[in-house]
A and B are shown apart, each in its own frame.
Chain A
Amino acid sequence: MITDVLHVIGAFFVVVGALFCVIGGIGVIRLPDFYSRCHGSGITDSAGAGALLLGLMFFAPPLVAFKLLALVAFLWVSSTVSTHSLAKAAYSQGVRIENVPRKDWTIAPPPPPAAEDAVLADAASAADPEEPA
């Protein structure tokens, strides 16, 4: 009886995790931009894998449940680290956002508010968002 209840709870989490995986895959295909695709991949890595492996814990004997817990902990650390280093490498190699706001202040930081008008014009021309990759 209690085993059936645990299996139903675990089945709910497994189905939710599988749906999150499919949603992340659709995001990786459909989103327009590299950094948005990082978001889609992050959905799959955190929510999808987390909910699916958490649901599998309800079906498992205790040792296997501990292995699943270690797997969830490792995936949550390693996927965030790899996505962060991937985005950092892509930005340093010149991959830019499409449809940016008017000024991408990460290229040239905004001038201090007490600067003169000539300095402002220089900073604005240096922060050209149309710079190709």
Chain B
Amino acid sequence: MTLTAAVMSFAAVAILVTMVMALFRAARGPTTYDRILALNLFGTQTVLLIAVTGFLYERPEWMDLAMVYGLCNFVGVLAVLRFSKYGSFMEDP
């Protein structure tokens, strides 16, 4: 096993462990905002996992997927925040 494969495997396992922790907080969190925070953390970890997996399989083109997923995650968190505050996506504040 080369150095690159070993390092990327370690990073992927660490990121998966962090994703499990974020899911635990999303399932347990007392308030809605804890769940949204865990969702944000899970999305960031998914971006990192896509990047690391792209280097592990020697397909660095997956970086485009990671960038698109980061954009979707940001917009999604803001949309869920707006929904939790106003109760609707259409209503003007």
Contact = CB atoms under 8 A, between A and B. Distances in A.
Interface of A: 7-8, 10-11, 14-15, 17-19, 21-22, 24-26, 28-29, 34, 37-38, 41, 44-45, 48-49, 52-53, 56, 59-61, 64, 67-68, 70-71, 74-75, 78-79, 81-83, 85-86, 89-90, 92-93, 95, 133
B63 to A, nearest CB: 4
Contacts, number: 136
Q: What is the interface of chain B mostly: helix, strand, loop, or mixed?
A: helix
Interface of B: 3-4, 7-8, 10-11, 14-15, 17-18, 21-22, 24-25, 31, 33-34, 36-38, 40-41, 44-45, 47-48, 51-52, 55, 60, 63-64, 66-67, 70-71, 73-74, 77-78, 81, 84-85
Contacts of B84: 89
